[in-house]
Structure 1
C-alpha cells in the first residue's frame, strides 16, 4: 500500500490515467495537474495548479512517459493550459524526492543532478520495455497493413535491431507468415536469429540487403536507413521507424524518392493506452513501495 504518501502527477496521456487510478487504489494521496478536461473526471484525486508549493509537498512526482522537452514543456493533452517546468519549479522539489518518467531527455537529467531529486526512468527497465514491445509490435503491424496493398503473409520484411522491441516484432511478423530478415550487431544475435528461423545479416551491411524488400522496420536510434540504402529499395517499399525521434531514417530522401517512410515512436500509448498504462501502473507502484521500504530499513 502507498498509505501516507503524497504523489503528484504532472500531465500525461491516457496511459497516465491508469497509473493515477492504481495509486488511488493503493491509498496514496494523489494530486494531479493537467487533467481537467477528461471526459470522465478522476475519482479520489485533488486537481491542482502547477506551483512550487505543490512540488515541495510531494513525496513522489510522476511525469508523462516522454518526460518533458528540453524547454521544460510537459505533454498534457487533457489540460486547458500549457504546462512548463521552469527552473524555479525544479528548485522547489525536495532533495531525494522520487521523480518518475518513462524516458528523460538531457534537460531533465541535468535538473535532477543540479537539484538533487532522484530521477527514475521506467522504460530503462527490461520488464517494462519487454511488456511494451507487445503493443509496439501490434501497432507496427497495423501501420504496415494500412500503408501497403499486400498481405504481411508472404511479404519480405526486414527488422533492424533485435533488442526487446525488434525481437517481439520479428516473431510477430514470422507468425503472420512473413519472410523475416534481421539486421544485427552482435554475434549472439546472429545465433538467436538462426534459432528463431530468421535470416540474419550484419546491420552495417544493410546496403547489400535492400533489394526486393517490401517492409523495413527500424528500431535502431541512429541513422541507419540512409539515402544510399533508400536509393536501392523498390518504390513500393514502406519504412516504419520505431526508434525514438528523430529516428534512424533519412526521411527527406525517402520523400524525394517517393518511398513512404513513417516515424512511429510511442506506439503503446497510441494503439493500446489502457494496456500500456496498466504496465506502467504496476511497475511504478511496485517501485515506489520498494524505494520507501528500503529507505525505512536504512533509517
Structure 2
C-alpha cells in the first residue's frame, strides 16, 4: 500500500517538504498554509479531511514553541494543541521535530507515540552543513571586512564546528578552533585550523563563531577583544557567550539561530524528507 502524507503547519521548510514528497509521486495533503499561496502538487484540505486521507502525518520543526499552539506561521488561525487535536491522529504514523512540548500538551500523545525526526543523525549532519553555510553568510553580511585574511575563532568541534572550520579555511580565513577533547584538537589541526584549549584563548579575533550551548566565552576572553570584534551565536539557549559582559564592553553579539530554515529551507526540507523516508523503511 502506497503511503499518503499529510503536512500540518510549519515554515518554508514544510512547504518545500510537501512539494518534494508530492514530486516523488505520493499523494500529499496540507493544512495550515492558508496565507502562503498554493503548494505545487499538494492538495490543501481541511484538517479533518487531511487526517482521513493520510496514513503519515508530518508535523513541523519545532512542532511548537509555546506548548499551546502548533508552529504554523502561514495558518489563517492558531492551531491549538489539546486533547481533541491529539486524538485526531490515533491509528496514524506521526513524525515531527523537537516533540517534547507537543507531547506534554496532552496525555493522548502517549497512545499515539509520535516519532521525532529531529533526533535522526542524517538530519543532524545535514542541518550542520546548512548551519555552517548560514553562519558564513551572516559573517559576510555583518563583518565590514572580508573573511579572506580574517582571524576567526570557532568554539566547539561538533558537526557544525567541523563544517564551519572547513568553509572558513577554504575561504582563506585564519581559523582557530577551541575545544576540550584532545581528539578534537588534533582533528582541528587536520582541518587546517590552529587548535586551542579554552584556557589558551588569549588573542584578539576579528570574528568569533560559538557553537557550544554552554558558557565558554566569558568576560576574560571578551576583555581581550575590541569593539570591532563580531561574535556570532549559533548555539541554542543558554548559548556560550556572556552577553551581559559583551554589552558592557560594546562588543557586538549577533544571534544566528535556526539557520537551516531561514537560509536554506529547500535543502533543509530535503534533509527532513530523507530522515522521514528512512524512518518509514525501518
- Shorter-chain TM-score tier: 0.7 to 0.9
Instruction: Find out whether 1:80 has 2:76 as its counterpart.
Output: yes
What is aligned with 1:164?
159
Instruction: Find out whether 1:240 has 2:236 as its counterpart.
Output: no
Q: 1:187 to 1:113 in 2, by over 3 A?
A: farther
CA distance in 2, matches of 1:79, 1:101: 17
Indicate the SS of the match to 2:268.
helix
Q: 2:95 aligns with which of 92, 96, 100?
A: 100
Q: 1:149 to 1:27 in 2, by over 3 A?
A: closer
Matched residue count = 281
CA distance in 1, matches of 2:67, 2:163: 34
CA distance in 1, matches of 2:63, 2:220: 34
Contact 1:135-1:267 at 8 Å conserved across structures: yes
Indicate the SS of the match to 1:232.
coil
Q: 1:183 aligns with which of 175, 178, 181?
A: 178
Instruction: Find out whether 1:212 has 2:204 as its counterpart.
Output: yes
What is aligned with 1:174?
169
CA distance in 2, matches of 1:251, 1:112: 38
Q: TM-score normalized by structure 2?
A: 0.87
CA distance in 1, matches of 2:195, 2:103: 36
What is aligned with 1:17?
15
Q: 1:226 aligns with which of 189, 193, 218?
A: 218
What is aligned with 1:259?
251
Q: 1:257 to 1:83 in 2, by over 3 A?
A: farther
What is aligned with 1:283?
275
C-alpha deviation, 1:168, in angstroms? 0.3
Indicate the SS of the match to 2:114.
strand
Alignment map for 1:52-91 (pairs within 5 Å): 59-91=55-87
CA distance in 2, matches of 1:180, 1:116: 49
What is aligned with 2:193?
198
Contact 2:62-2:98 at 8 Å conserved across structures: yes
Indicate the SS of the match to 1:83.
coil
1:253-278 CA-to-partner distances (Å, cap 9, x unmatched) read 32232111111111111112112222
CA distance in 1, matches of 2:172, 2:157: 18
What is aligned with 1:134?
129
Q: 1:238 to 1:287 in 2, by over 3 A?
A: same
What is aligned with 1:45?
43
1:77-120 CA-to-partner distances (Å, cap 9, x unmatched) read 2222122322332244326x43322333x323545895233333
CA distance in 2, matches of 1:102, 1:210: 39
Indicate the SS of the match to 1:236.
coil
C-alpha deviation, 1:6, in angstroms? 4.1
Q: 1:33 aligns with which of 1, 10, 31?
A: 31
| Structure 1 gap ranges (5+) | 292-299
What is aligned with 2:146?
151
| Structure 2 gap ranges (5+) | none
Indicate the SS of the match to 2:144.
coil
1:19-65 CA-to-partner distances (Å, cap 9, x unmatched) read 1123323454433221112233443424224x6x8658753221112
Q: 1:273 to 1:190 in 2, by over 3 A?
A: same
C-alpha deviation, 1:154, in angstroms? 1.4
What is aligned with 1:297?
none
